[in-house]
Each structure stands twice: as C-alpha cells, then as structure tokens.
Amino acid sequence: MRILSGIQPSGALHIGNYFGMMKPAIALQAEGEALYFIADYHALTSLRDPGALRENSRRVALDFLACGLDPDRAALFLQSDVPQVTELAWILGTVTPMGLLERCHSYKDKLARGAAASAGLFTYPVLMAADILIYDSDIVPVGRDQKQHLEVTRDIAIKMNETFGDLFKLPEPRIHAETEVVPGTDAQKMSKSYRNTIEIFGAEKETRKRVMSIVTDSTPIDAPKDAASSAIFQLYSLVASTEEKEVMAAEFRRGGTGYGDFKKRLFESLWRYFAPMRERRAAILAQPNYIDGVLARGAERANAIADKVMARVRDAVGV
C-alpha cells in the first residue's frame, strides 16, 4: 500500500497542522510505503518571496522530522524536486473539464478571503491530482474539508482512463474524524489565513500569549460553562489524558473556575506535550547536513516511482 500526503510551506507550522495532517501521516508510515512532500509549487499561489519559500520549506522538513517522521520508513522530499509532477499536470489539464474546477470550494473560499484570481489558483486541483497520481498512490489522508480535492483527482483519473486506457489507480481517502477541525484562538478552524494559530515550536512566551488570547464568552466565573463548545477544552482534549479531560469537563459543568485558569492549564499541557519534539528538533539542528540528506534521499525514491508512471503516460498519450 502506497500512502501519499503533502503540506504547504506557507509559514510556521501550527498545532492545527500537527493534529490535522502531520500526526495521522506519521502514524501511517507504519502501515505501508509512505511518501510525504513539501508542496513548494502550491505555495507559489500565495507566497512570492523566494527567500521565505526556501526557508519555510526547510523549516517544514525540520519540524516534520522533529514530530516523528522516520526517513528510513517514509520518503520526505520537495515537490519541485520531482519535475514529472508539472509535466503530468499539463497532460491532466488537457482533459479536465472547466466545470469540474469551477465547482471547487477551495477556489471560491480563497477568492472570498481576498486572494488574486490567478490561473494557478484556479488549476490548483489539477496540480494536486498530478501530485497524487504520479506515484500510483493508494491512500491519501485528508480532512473532511479537503475530501473534494481527492474526489476531483479521482474524476480526472477516470477521465484519463476513459480517454487513453487504464493508466491510473483511483486513490482512496483516509479521513481522521477525530481531528476534523482544530480550533484557533478565535474558535474558527486554525489557519494561517485567519491569523489565529498557535505554533508547534513557537517561543514559550509567545505560545503562552497566544493561548491566553483564545476568545471566550462572557459567562461569569461561578456559572457552569459548556465544555463542548469551548475552543479551550477542544484544544486541551488533543493533548491531555482521558482522566485530565474528565476533570476539566467536570469543572466546566460545575462552575467556579474562570476561563483564565483553564487557559493556563491548556498552555502547560501543550508545552509538556511538545517537549520531546522540541528536544528532537534541537538535535536535528545540531547536524548541519542532515535535512539536505533526508530530502535528497526522499527525492531519489520519489523520482524512481514518478519516472515509471510518466513513461507509461507519455506512451499512452503519444509524446
């Protein structure tokens, strides 16, 4: 079984990235052949600073390794180190119906948030389909809000198979419902676009500040509170033990504890949870060539697969 997932290097990784994508992806490396790419081509739709893009890409690699990715079990590489991806994207684009792309929610959502209506943003799902199909991927871990992208990939693969013969597998989603949406400091989905994130490896003072800034309602200290609707409790549930969660939930129901106290407890649990990963991160940074070596080996493994798939595609389409 081949597993494929990617993450954009659009800025510092936050705990929404970790629980929504990285933790499930790292767990899957024990189930099959895992390929994880840093989507630097995708990032070009929003990031136009070349220095920042290169720095962010290395930081994503560092953070992914610190969080537990094992380069002996999973290939980690830059999207741009596999040029066959963009070649395949063009070929896929020649059969992709415009209507299919016009129905994509992501494009509409990004325009609504002020993104420029570029051709790259519009055809983003085609490049994503190439990312997945170029490796004959079997499983793609996604959140429920990203499921449409995989459905588009399957639709494009079916169109290619109908046009040129049996070229591509139809990848299946792996949805992790328990980490559907990680709330940000404003209780919306945690996202760099919303500026509501808590970084995985932020400085202690800044992390505490971000946690203490979580938006709450005006329920008095003595009054009972609803844990289920609280971003504080939802975040705490990701890092606390079952017993700790039960204790906090009971305190919410009972009243007598203020949101400020709950936030302090959340910060302490977050800081403790990521402590081993901070240690691994420091150890990796102490090895200057380690990240470059991991990315080079990952790209070599990815290119070996992509070469075979692309040869099959070129032969089928006549180029």
Token couple for 170: 């139809």
| Half-sphere CA count of 179, side-chain side, radius 13 A | 21
- Cβ neighbours of residue 289 closer than 8 Å, sequence gap 6 or more: none
Cβ pair 291, 284 in contact under 8 A = yes
Q: Is 147 a catalytic residue?
A: no
Q: Report how far apart, in Å, the C-alpha atoms of 272 and of each of 143, 179, 209, 238, 269 are.
A: 26, 20, 16, 12, 5
- Residue among 23, 169, 192, 209 flagged as catalytic: 192
- Residue among 169, 189, 245, 308 flagged as catalytic: 189
Token couple for 76: 């980690």
Cβ pair 28, 34 in contact under 8 A = yes
Q: Is 264 a catalytic residue?
A: no
- Cβ neighbours of residue 209 closer than 8 Å, sequence gap 6 or more: none
Cβ pair 171, 35 in contact under 8 A = no
Return the amino acid letter for 20: G
Interatomic CA distance for residues 312 and 84, integer angstroms: 12
Q: Report how far apart, in Å, the C-alpha atoms of 311 and of each of 155, 229, 318 are.
A: 22, 52, 11
Q: Is 110 a catalytic residue?
A: yes
Interatomic CA distance for residues 88 and 134, integer angstroms: 7
What residues are annotated to the active site? Answer: 110, 189, 192
